[in-house]
A and B are shown apart, each in its own frame.
Chain A
Amino acid sequence: MKKLLLASTATAMLAGAAGAEEVKLGIIFGFTGPLESITPHMAAGAELAMQEVSESGLFLDGSTVTPIRADSTCVDASAATAAAERLVTSDGVKAIIGADCSGVTGAILQNVARPQGIVQISPSSTSPGLSEVEDDGLFFRTAPSDARQGAVMADIISGRGTTDVAITYTNNDYGKGLADSFAAAFKEKGGNVTISAAHDDGKADYSAEVAALAAAGGELLVVAGYVDQGGRGIVQNAIDTGAFDTFYLPDGMYGPSLIEAIGDSLDGSYGDVPAAEGENVDTYHEMATAAGFDGTSSYAAESYDAAALVLLAMQAAKSSNGADYKGKIMDVANAPGEKINPGELAKALELIAAGQDVDYVGATNVEMAEPGESLGTFREYDITGGAVETVGFR
């Protein structure tokens, strides 16, 4: 009854204030399930952007933005679909921020977002498969695809003049995906992959694996594994037997425990790790602390950017209708235009209303590429004198 009253009051008010409406955005993350420790911070990040836009009073003729949370469970596709369905049909959300895990994200996209014509933007689904799905131009993500890291690795390695590499990867989707995307990108750049062999985690002895890698040869060993698992065993054994001197260590192999365990022999090795840099990140962390949540938590910054992008696109299209604003997301995310840092959403709304272009930079230096996904920022690092030194960002 109360809800009905509220709803009718809201309708009455809407009718009164010409053009101004209450725009609802659905936030669907796994508030229960394997990611439950980081999703509250992600949701808080998205809500921070909505609050900022709402309070500016500049959004779509003074419209307000209301977040509505739902549980994706991260693992249960049917539960996530039902929750998203409810968001759209009963709550009437104009966009879906989420989901978190790639599997449920794909399910929501196919079962809810596409049939209903709702824009969906995920801050944390990184599966390369999502780049290829049919999305009617409705799906975006502010986290880079895992395939992107493979391309970045190929850039870094061939940039240093290395042409022959051996690859070993941990025997799962992450390792295989990264190894394959790297090998493809590296060959395109004219590099040569001598061998791409899997290793299993949790073994005591990697001498046979290293022997095969050594026989294939190469100037560099790319280890797409885990730092506290088989990856370390491989590196240790390769150094012991003199099979390889230089290693490329992507995100899974980034960690102080490796340098601690192996020591000086790692000098000269290098790698990359996803990381945003600079003042914008610091600004965002301060904003998050002021709002009472942890901005450094995984994908919290991407969530803020996801919500901000959707709202700016709506402003640019002068409409909260998915079909109208879906084409605007790439426009507001990329150059040309005035750069928009975190906390400057009011300025962006003003500029857009005045008919000017904006280039949303946000907390994670957003740069979007087709088909609607962030390129991400990767920190390239060297290991020198037993310490990690940042070389640059890509």
Chain B
Amino acid sequence: MDLLNALVAFANFVFIPAVAYGAQLALGALGVTLIYGILRFSNFAHGDTMAFGTTLTILITVAMQGAGIGFGPLPTALLALPFAIVLTGIVLVGTDRAVYRFYRKQRAAPVILTMVSLGVMFIMNGVVRFIIGVDDVTFADGERFVIGARDFRDATGLAEGLAIRTTQVITLVVAAIAVALLFWFLNRTRTGKSMRAFSDNEDLALLSGINPERVVQVTWLIVAALATTAGVLYGLDKSFKAFTYFQLLLPIFASAVVGGLGNPLGAIAGGFVIAFSEVGVTYAWKKVATYVLPESLAPDGLAQLLSTDYKFAVSFAILILVLLFMPTGLFKGKSV
């Protein structure tokens, strides 16, 4: 029995990575859920919107680094983020004007809008690769670790190391701030309330004098902020590659559906549920079990439920289970 080592191993390989990943998914899922709630379609272009926002952030970061602007121990990308959000917002509102508004005017069925977003996705995907290429881009600078694994071992004398990366802490802090701002905006401001009214009942909202075009524009701006932030945090924490954001679409949608589409609280919960399931199901529990269990019960095998190759299968399985048995999700969203 060695609870302390078990806890540290668990924190190092499961808890900390899953919390950071969950926060990134939650921010992504919030964007998807807002679009679903207010514009009433599943936005497949969301993953590539994240990639696009991150691309802009990287370009601005590089320019800032070139001009000698830094952020001390924090990544310069955080300084570049607001500018990138504004630019992404302009692009999204522009896309809405050029593409989505046409179909909205015709009161097209949601599935048509979803297909339209698929087209937007392919174009954005191409634009991103055209601008920044398909290779790995590392743009994190500043301090890499809050606690390094070796330092932790030396300081505590434990067998297991614990590493906390700066980017993981930043992810949590920034995500918390973004979520707090979003909820304040939706619940306390006039525009936020009109957005919620529009989401609840479009016709009633129109009758009470809410300007639909303005609601749509504000939604896209908020989505731009959420998507860019999520993309930059993911890129800082892991690495940026144009294609990986497209693959993130599945866990992000799974998060939004699990929490209940259209429900912001649900999106956050869903993000963490998916992240912890993905990491927990594919983690080999041998080490933790060996520390916790008496020697006679310690597992010989890896005690791994699924090989890591099947990480995405976990999201898929959860998505299907929820759709079958709980179509409105954990937090009573709209049924799909």
- A interface, CB within 8 angstroms of B: 171, 195, 197-200, 202-205, 207-212, 214-217, 228, 232-233, 240-243, 261
Contact = CB atoms under 8 A, between A and B. Distances in A.
Given A215-B283, A242-B153, 4 more contacts: A205-B238, A205-B244, A215-B304, A242-B150
Nearest to B285: A215
B52 interface: no
Contacts of A200: 309
B234 A211 contact: no
B46 interface: no
Contact of A204 (B144, B161, B244, B278): B244
A203 B287 CA distance: 25
B287 A214 contact: yes
Interface stretch (B11-19, B110-118, B177-185, B214-222): B11-19
A211 B145 CA distance: 18
B160 to A, nearest CB: 8
Interface residues of B, number: 44
Nearest to A212: B284
Contacts of A202: 241, 243-244
B241 A242 contact: no
B198 interface: no
13 contacts: A195-B302, A205-B21, A212-B283, A212-B307, A215-B287, A215-B303, A215-B304, A216-B286, A240-B149, A240-B163, A242-B161, A243-B13, A261-B138
Given A197-B308, A200-B309, A211-B279, A233 B284 contact: no
A242 B12 contact: yes
B311 A240 contact: no
A202 B240 CA distance: 11
A211 B244 contact: no
Choose among A171, A199, A212 the residue with the greatest number of B CB atoms under 10 Å from its CB: A212
Contacts of A207: 13, 17, 21, 279
Nearest to B152: A242
A165 to B, nearest CB: 15
Interface of B: 12-14, 17, 21, 135-136, 138, 144-145, 148-150, 152-153, 161-163, 165, 234-235, 238-241, 243-244, 247, 278-279, 282-288, 302-304, 307-309, 311
Given A205-B238, A208-B308, A215 B284 contact: yes
Choose among A207, A208, A211, A232 the residue with the greatest number of B CB atoms under 10 Å from its CB: A208
A242 B163 contact: yes
Contact of B286 (A209, A210, A215, A228): A215
Given A198-B309, A205-B21, A241 B163 contact: yes
A212 B243 contact: no
B165 to A, nearest CB: 6
A327 to B, nearest CB: 47
Contacts of A261: 138
A203 B302 contact: no
A217 B287 contact: yes
A204 B282 contact: no
Contacts of A197: 307-308
Contacts of B136: 228, 232
B14 A211 contact: yes
Contacts of B284: 195, 211-212, 215-216
Contact of B279 (A199, A208, A233): A208
Given A198-B309, A217-B287, A261-B138, A204 B241 contact: yes
Contacts of A215: 13, 283-288, 302-304
Nearest to A203: B244
Contacts of A232: 136
A240 B279 contact: no
A198 B308 CA distance: 8
B228 to A, nearest CB: 17
A366 to B, nearest CB: 39
Contacts of A240: 144-145, 149, 163, 165
Given A211-B279, A216-B286, A204 B234 contact: yes
Nearest to B247: A203
B166 to A, nearest CB: 11
A239 to B, nearest CB: 8
Contacts of A216: 284, 286, 302
Nearest to B237: A205
A107 B162 CA distance: 54
Contacts of A241: 12-13, 149, 161, 163
B244 to A, nearest CB: 4
Interface pairs A-B: 9 shortest CB-CB: A242-B149, A242-B161, A215-B284, A211-B13, A204-B238, A204-B244, A205-B238, A215-B287, A212-B284
A210 B163 CA distance: 13
Contacts of A217: 287
A212 B304 contact: yes
Contacts of B307: 197-198, 212
A303 B193 CA distance: 76
A392 B271 CA distance: 51
Nearest to A205: B238
A151 to B, nearest CB: 27
Nearest to A229: B136
A199 B163 contact: no
Given A208-B278, A241-B13, A233 B283 contact: no
Contact of A211 (B17, B148, B152, B247): B17
A215 B17 CA distance: 15
A137 to B, nearest CB: 42
Contacts of B241: 202, 204
A210 B308 CA distance: 9
